[in-house]
Homo-oligomer: A and B are copies of this chain.
Amino acid sequence: MPKAASSLEALLADDEIEGVIITTPNDTHRDLIIAALEAGKAVYTDKPITHTLEHALDVREAVHRTGAVFAVGHSARRLSGSRVMKQWIDGGGLGEVSLAEANFSNERGLELTPETWRWYADKSPGGTFIQLGVHHADNLQYLLGPVARVSAHARKLYTESEVPDAVMAILEFESGALGYIGCGWASPGIYQIRLQGTKANLMYDLDFTHWDESHQADEWSTLVSQGYRDMTRKPVALPATDMFREQLDEFALAIRGEAEVEVGIDEAIRALAVVRAALESSSRGGQAVEMGPLLAGLGVA
């Protein structure tokens, strides 16, 4: 039976509760995560892990100190399209990937009000890039491995809020491949990933307005492939998944020691570090920011 706790303290003191799910504003994640970990709970938090790398570092220390199960909701990599793209890459169907382009955009920047936390630069630094771009920062590293450096430009164009509504970032992967993430917050919605390989291209397209219906989100997506010297695009079958159920099942099983968490502290920090590197690069006129020193400073190998 679901029950409501009267306070955070009451919730954390309830021995029946083994795991805590955090879906509060980003800038409140750190303190809630650490309080829950220290109360002996496993923790699942929405993406991004925290709104700053400094907060993420504090979380990392607490995760290591408590040894508790910790998971971050980068659910997009569990969409059927992401999984199938990964299978193609691992199976060699794409050949060598040289370019990967992703875009996640929506109208939200035009609709923000000062009553919402996403309006503020100190609560949501990077605007569209920390809210939307961080999904692709995880997706692309899931698909192509670690990012080595990031060049970006972030602009506040048509939103009245404090944060950027137009961001473009170029990622260089350790593999040598180049990646691109475009994020607008002042246009109709887009969620796309395109991979260009020596043998084939793959193009994924999602109507994310059905995101919350995770049991059927894949029905609102398409993946097409394109072969060498062939301009036709062939539909690729996408087996049904349920990204939210899968990650919460995994979280529950991990608490019982019966599963491994796929997106834990280091994966989540790698995604957030791309956001941070992009903002730093933008403030330096696009000069590439190296991920290595940024991650080493956080203790992430």
| Chain B residue, CB-CB nearest to A205 | B233
Cβ-based interface call for A155 (8 A): yes
Instruction: Name the B residues within 8 Å of A152 (CB-CB).
Output: 170
**A209, B187: Cβ atoms closer than 8 Å:** no
Instruction: Name the B residues within 8 Å of A18 (CB-CB).
Output: none
| Chain B residue, CB-CB nearest to A286 | B151
| Chain B residue, CB-CB nearest to A208 | B231
**A190, B198: Cβ atoms closer than 8 Å:** no
| Chain B residue, CB-CB nearest to A150 | B286
Cβ-based interface call for A90 (8 A): no
Stretch at the interface among A42-50, A53-61, A114-122, A221-229: A221-229
Cβ-based interface call for A107 (8 A): yes
Cβ-based interface call for A158 (8 A): yes
Stretch at the interface among A5-13, A80-88, A98-106: A98-106
Smallest CB–CB gap between A237 and chain B, Å? 20
> Measuring CB to CB, which residues of chain A are less than 8 angstroms from any residue of chain B?
96, 98-99, 101, 103, 105, 107, 110, 151-153, 155, 157-158, 165-168, 170, 172, 176-178, 180, 182, 184, 186-190, 194, 196-198, 200-201, 207-209, 226-231, 281, 284-288
Instruction: Name the B residues within 8 Å of A177 (CB-CB).
Output: 157, 166
Bound: A273/B299 CA distance, A:
43
Instruction: Name the B residues within 8 Å of A194 (CB-CB).
Output: 103, 190
Q: Which of B167, B180, B287 has a CB less than 8 Å from the CB of A286?
A: B287
**B286, A158: Cβ atoms closer than 8 Å:** no
**B96, A186: Cβ atoms closer than 8 Å:** yes
Smallest CB–CB gap between A262 and chain B, Å? 28
Smallest CB–CB gap between A160 and chain B, Å? 12
**B285, A288: Cβ atoms closer than 8 Å:** yes
Which among A165, A227, A287 has the highest number of chain B CB atoms within 10 Å?
Answer: A287
Bound: A89/B107 CA distance, A:
18
| Chain B residue, CB-CB nearest to A196 | B187
